[in-house]
Amino acid sequence: MEKIKNRGWSVTTAGIGINLALGILYTWSMFKMAIKDSIVAGDGRFEWSLSSLNDPYAVCCLAFAFSMIFAGRLQDKFSPRITALIGGVLTGLGLMWISQSYSLWVWILGFGVLTGTGLGFGYASATPPAIKWFPAAKTGLIAGLVVSGFGLASVYIAPLSSYLIKEMGLSAAMMIFGGAFIVVVCGLAKFLVNPPQGYSPEAKAPGQAAPKAQGRDFAPSAMLRTKAFYLLWFTYFVGAGAGLMIIGNVAGMAKSSLGDMAWVVVALMAVGNAGGRIVAGTLSDKIGRTQTLAIMLTFQSLIMFSLMMLGKEQAIIMVMAAALVGFNYGTNLSLFPSATKDYYGLKNFGVNYGLVFTAWGAGGFVLPRVSQMIVAATGSFESAYLTAGVLLLMGAGMTVVLEKPAPAEAAVAQPAPSLRPAGALTSLVRAGSLATGRPGLGNKNAYRQRLK
């Protein structure tokens, strides 16, 4: 049998590069700061209410998360290349659209819906093919490396956006980012390729059969019937939401102590964000996903409580807090895809993780919006920190009862036809299936194999 060339590291590198472009989401606080300055100055451009400043960001998180379901289905059934191309084009077009308007609704639709959907498609294309090339013992490491690009993006986007906004204005900065990201993401998409059928990363020699699986691959409908899914979902909701609450506001929080150098805090948070993804992924390969998750959620809750008591006007405290919040938030983005793969298998990993990832979107929509309302009403973050800290402790407690589903739970009988409306998540799964076609047709399978 001809030896199959392992493209794992080239796929992983391409995934990191794609995420380095898509990570513009984490620089929202820089854009928001420029919009707020315009509102306060009353220059007639951005005539928004201060309580709505986070709305485009919150909608972006929601669109990002729910588009992952459809993008995951497309990635599973067809090709990660197609998914990445769609993601790059949508992300760029969304940024270019908002560069032409100051309207809140245009920013909600452009940055929130269009760019958010593009981020979901691009993000869904990067991790699954990389994981498939490596053995299970490296799942956490590879997932951490690929998603680290998304977290690390602000290291260069934050100072670059600060420079572009100062020299050319916010609109010109959005146009430049939009055009550049279309080129970068679409260019790297060609390197994303799934392993050929029958490839086993566990095999020690060409042609050797894969080791016997310890469990079955779960269909999305079967996954939705397991208790573990809902425990994972809630812990992801609070872990991601608490971090995104800080990330969406960090530049404004830092401006009072660092002035025009507030981008430094955004960049340092990005370093922590990327480091947390790699460290947690590697650690979880050694001590387990749930154990690592419990440690990180507890630590993140302690940081939230600390922020209530420390003097945030001091620059050094703000820098340390940003790095630690970024680190702990980043752990979620490697632990949850790794846990989804461990619990529910690789066959439907794209759509299954898309469903789990809706927790990230819901957390990013709810907690940043709530925190912005609290700040607008009280001028203080203390109540938001307290709420997030309590939720994080609840999430850490839930990891005690979080268990891998039994293999028997993967075999779910098909329900009889019913006129009763399907649940929201089940409807999304079915919609994703309709959008990508039914599997099992010979000509389509041949076409899909050529794409892969």
Q: What is the mean pLDDT of residues 241-270?
A: 68
Q: Is 334 exposed, middle or buried (0-12, 13-18, 19+ CB in 10 A)?
A: buried
pTM attached to this predicted model: 0.72
Q: What is the mean pLDDT of residues 395-423?
A: 66
The two structure tokens encoding residue 112: 């929130």
| pLDDT value of position 208 | 44
Q: What is the mean pLDDT of residues 44-52?
A: 86
Residue 417's pLDDT band (cuts 50, 70, 90): very low
Residue 251's pLDDT band (cuts 50, 70, 90): low
| pLDDT value of position 436 | 42
Q: How far is CA 236 from CA 97, 239, 339, 401, 451, in A?
A: 31, 5, 11, 15, 33
Which range, 58-67, 84-93, 335-344, 345-354, is most confident? 84-93
**pLDDT tens sequence across 233-245:** 999 998 888 877 7
Measured from the Cβ of residue 418, the count of other Cβ atoms closer than 10 Å reads 7
Q: Is the pLDDT of residue 147 over 50?
A: yes
Task: Write down the number of H helices and E strands in the chain.
Answer: 19, 0
Q: Residues, the chain, total?
A: 452
Chain centre to alpha carbon of residue 260: 28
- Between 213-227, 273-287, 314-328, the lowest mean confidence (pLDDT) is in 314-328
**pLDDT tens sequence across 22-37:** 888 878 878 988 998 8
Mean pLDDT of the chain: 80
- Give residue limits of the domains in the chain: 8-198+218-409+424-437
| pLDDT value of position 191 | 93
* Contacts of 146 by beta carbon, 8 Å cutoff, 6+ apart: 12, 15, 16, 19, 126, 127, 130
Q: Please report where in the chains the tokens 């451009």 appear, as a residue.
A: 45
Domain covering 8-198+218-409+424-437 in this structure, CATH number: 1.20.1250.20
Q: Is the pLDDT of residue 344 over 80?
A: yes
| pLDDT value of position 54 | 81
Q: Is the pLDDT of residue 413 over 60?
A: no
Handedness of CA 275, 279, 282, 284 (dihedral sign): negative
Q: What is the C-alpha to C-alpha distance for residues 278 and 327, in angstroms, rounded to an integer?
A: 10
| pLDDT value of position 198 | 72
| pLDDT value of position 434 | 42
| pLDDT value of position 252 | 59
As a whole-number percent, the residues of the chain with pLDDT over 70 amount to 79
Residue 254's pLDDT band (cuts 50, 70, 90): low
| pLDDT value of position 256 | 60
Residue 415's pLDDT band (cuts 50, 70, 90): very low
Q: Is the pLDDT of residue 174 over 70?
A: yes
305 compared with 120, residue with greater pLDDT = 120
Q: What is the mean pLDDT of residues 286-302?
A: 90
